Amino acid sequence: MRFYNINDRKETATFREAVLQGAAGGNGLYFPISLTAKDGAFFDEIDNYSFTDLATEVLYDFVKEDFTRGELQDICGRAFNFSLPLAQVDRYIYVLELFHGPSLAFKDVGARFLAEVLKKIAEKAAQEITVLVATSGDTGSAVAKSFYNVQGIRVVLLYPSGKVSPLQEKTLTTLGGNITAVEVQGTFDDCQKLVKRAFADQESFGGKVLTSANSINVGRLLPQMVYYFWAWRQLENEQRDNMIFSVPSGNYGNLTAGVMAWKMGLPVKRFVAASNINRVVPDYLQTGQYNPRTAVRTHSNAMDVGDPSNFVRIREMFGDDHKRISQLIQGFVVNDEQTAEAIRDLHNKTGYILDPHGAIGYMGCRHHLQEGETGVFLETAHPAKFPDVVEEAIGESIDIPIYLKEIQNKEKQALQMPADYKEFRQWLSGHVV
């Protein structure tokens, strides 16, 4: 399997090459040349698969030029050593809990897989790799936990100052070692631009290997397909043929992975792009006009993105045909007041506690679910990562997992930097030498 540059189809790469480059030339994104639908035998056997087995089956065609099936099985076994259960919260609505990994967020799935892949690549090449990451919250903490003390790999996390929760900031800035946090005076989109410009400016870094752990990297994106198959596997047979997914959406890597799973034969009726008031994509789905704008800060800060990188991959899958895209994907927008209300209402009804991002997914699912359908929404982070919002909504304190308790009193270590590429490049040039 090769991957092509969406901006230049003549540029192709193997999985290894695409992972190491992160972004393609001209700030393009890599995408698989084909998304072959899984056959009936795969779905007949799916109930017998563990998550590691399922991941190996889904991902092998994409990586087989660079890794044997045994190597991939080993990578998946080490990366996916936590559960991703499906829980029922209403008669026809289920939540896929993606927060049981080390950093308590769905990003653990992609970040841990990528870390194991890059570790294997670094071992084979005996070469140091620098990983650049722009984060609005959970990506950074997942990457930091996944890559901490991995030999041969340095990580640089760029996050927007004052625009992540205090607890999230501690997850980004307290590890040290091979993890460097850069607090950028700007928005997530500014952080993302710095990372993209660095990739486009590789010659400035003396041949050093720079790559990304954002979902622009196919090594982060591809494993996220697996948990859509896993959610489907956990449903009863009679529910599987009439289901929808509601996906909390910011940079749109998560939804892109779901649509890719659909392209590979997963029987999903449609998706809901559940958004906060940073509604660029829902507006596009309604009007056909894509108009990026400056992100606005909300309770669901990981979704505060004004120009989502991955949406171009969704458009690519449909030949930029708005009609076809909007037939499969429906938009839904939730403001902060509605987010808090959803957290409170579901807790009062069932005792289940949502985080702000999952609350938006739940609202999108509830709004768009039709008679006879089963809805699954993604709970992307542990609610304890957002105690101020959640505790105010439900009127009581929530239990804090040990990982979060341990970091609360640790000292923040972050480099302050303006959203200026020249200054970032100068610092990075010294850092990667």
Q: What is the pLDDT of residue 431?
A: 76
Query: Which ranges constitute the DSSP H helices of 32-87?
Result: 40-45, 51-63, 69-79
Mean per-residue pLDDT, 4-9? 96
260, 97 Cβ separation under 8 angstroms: no
Would you say residue 74 lies in a domain? no
Would you say residue 33 lies in a domain? no
Q: What tens digit of pLDDT does each residue of 202-258 get?
A: 777 877 788 888 788 999 999 999 999 999 999 999 999 999 999 999 999 999 999
User: Which residue's structure tokens are 């897989």?
Assistant: 113
Would you say residue 284 lies in a domain? yes
**Residue 7: pLDDT over 70:** yes
3-state SS class at 119? helix
**Residue 391: pLDDT over 80:** yes
Amino acid at 418: P
Q: What tens digit of pLDDT does each residue of 305-337 get?
A: 999 999 999 999 999 999 999 999 999 999 999
Q: What is the pLDDT of residue 95?
A: 98
Would you say residue 52 lies in a domain? no
The pTM for the full model equals 0.91
3-state SS class at 215? coil
How many helical (H) and strand (E) elements, i.e. helices and strands, does the chain have? 19, 14
Q: What tens digit of pLDDT does each residue of 131-164 get?
A: 999 987 778 888 888 999 888 899 999 999 998 8
Would you say residue 417 lies in a domain? no
Would you say residue 250 lies in a domain? yes
Domain count, the chain: 1
CATH of the domain at 249: 3.40.50.1100
The DSSP secondary structure of 81-109, one letter per residue, reads -S---EEE-SSSEEEEE---STTSBTHHH
Q: Which structural domain range is residue 280 located in? A: 84-104+221-399
Q: What tens digit of pLDDT does each residue of 57-103 get?
A: 999 999 999 999 999 999 999 999 999 999 999 999 999 999 999 99
Q: Tokens for 197? A: 């410009």
Would you say residue 151 lies in a domain? no
The confidence band for 123, taking pLDDT boundaries of 50, 70 and 90, is confident
DSSP state of 157: E
3-state SS class at 24? strand
Would you say residue 92 lies in a domain? yes
The confidence band for 124, taking pLDDT boundaries of 50, 70 and 90, is confident
Average pLDDT score, the chain: 93
Please give the biggest Cα pair distance in the chain.
59
Q: Where are the beta strands (DSSP E) in 227-354?
A: 243-248, 270-275, 329-333
Choose from 171-175, 319-323, 383-387 the range with maximum mean pLDDT: 319-323
**Residue 125: pLDDT over 80:** no
The confidence band for 432, taking pLDDT boundaries of 50, 70 and 90, is low
100, 83 Cβ separation under 8 angstroms: yes
**Residue 433: pLDDT over 60:** no
Strand order in the sheet with 329-333: 86-88, 93-97, 374-379, 243-248, 270-275, 329-333
Residue 102 φ then ψ, to 5°: -60, -35
First to last CA, the chain: 33
